[in-house]
Amino acid sequence: MMLDQYAVIGNPISHSQSPRIHAIFAQQTSQSMEYSAILAPLDQFKITVMQFIQQSGRGMNVTVPFKLEAYQIATRLTERASLAQAVNTLKFENNEILGDNTDGIGLIHDITRNLTVDLAAKRILLIGAGGASRGVIMPLLQQKPFRLVIANRTFEKAKTLQQQFKYYGNITACDFDNLSNQAFDIVINATSASLQNTFPDIPACIFAEDSLAYDMMYHAEPTAFLRFAQQCGVSRLADGIGMLVEQAAESFYVWRNVRPETQSVIAILKSQTYMSRSTHPNQASNSK
């Protein structure tokens, strides 16, 4: 009998950690399934998904650059995918394509469970107003922070997000110049700046000594954003490896209704990533 098939789909995809993560989850929870990586040509996302469904495909993770297309081909969306306007998890069942988004809850689980930082009543700064930022706003607001500020190099994009989510909590938008004289308990970098080994032009004063600085990207070396936070005196630093594993765990739960244990998997990935320092000096990643 053919095992249930799962895959991560993207372009590029060869660097993906997802097959490894899900193989560990499957072994750990005794699930009979196979998980592979599929490279879809840039103009053939939908047809590649349809072929996968015909070959006993039960679910997919979706990564760059297909999260918007995945949102569009879904025949049903979860509320969190609908609000994120992006899909990172597809589930194929009863002739239906369910689109979900587990990125936001992955971030929340990493911060609150793994880093044991409570978000309730905290001052949170979210830097960036692209897809990565949009996907985490609602889950952050559901934690009932004191306030959530979205800061972006291009102010209008932050304002658009603020307008969309203003009914769900205390959320404001600003540009980097207007961050002076504001300090935050949690500062999250959701920009793609780390991919260019740089960081947003934010003032040092946004950090308090006991702030958590969190970069949704990860890299063998600390990202430029985390190095900047450290120079500003911040000691609590985290990169996106925990979020990567936690979003995978949530997808696994969506598909199999079983929750894998994540801490040991995060430890494996961290040791592997940080060990590769000499071979990948300049390649930050946020991708599955």
Residue 203 within binding range of ligand ATR, rule CB under 6 A: no
Residue 81 within binding range of ligand ATR, rule CB under 6 A: no
Instruction: Return contacts of 192-196, CB within 8 angstroms, 24+ apart.
Output: 192/128, 192/130, 192/132, 192/217, 192/286, 193/224, 193/225, 194/219, 194/223, 194/224, 194/225, 194/284, 194/286, 195/284, 195/285, 195/286
Side chain identity at residue 88, one-letter code = N
Side chain identity at residue 137, one-letter code = I
List all residues 6 or more positions away from 77 whose beta carbon is below 8 Å from its beta carbon: 71, 87, 98, 99, 100
Residue 162 beta carbon to ligand ATR: minimum distance, rounded to whole angstroms: 13
Residue 280 within binding range of ligand ATR, rule CB under 6 A: no
Phi, psi of 66 (to 5 degrees): -105, 10
Residue 263 within binding range of ligand ATR, rule CB under 6 A: no
Choose the binding region for ligand ATR from 21-29, 38-46, 126-134, 270-278 (rule: CB under 6 A): 126-134
Q: 153-192 mask for ligand ATR (x: CB under 6 A)?
A: xx--x---------------------------------xx
Closest chain position to ligand ATR (CB): 130
Among 152, 223, 262, 273, binds ligand ATR (CB under 6 A): 152
57-62 and 89-93 as β-strands: parallel, antiparallel, unpaired?
Answer: antiparallel
Instruction: Return contacts of 154-160, CB within 8 angstroms, 24+ apart.
Output: 154/129, 157/129, 157/130, 158/129, 160/129
Among 19, 59, 104, 131, binds ligand ATR (CB under 6 A): 131
Active site residue 288: no
Among 106, 200, 222, 260, binds ligand ATR (CB under 6 A): 200
Among 57, 128, 139, 222, binds ligand ATR (CB under 6 A): 128
**Residues labelled catalytic:** 67
| Footprint on this chain of ligand ATR (rule: CB under 6 A) | 128-133, 152-154, 157, 191-193, 198, 200
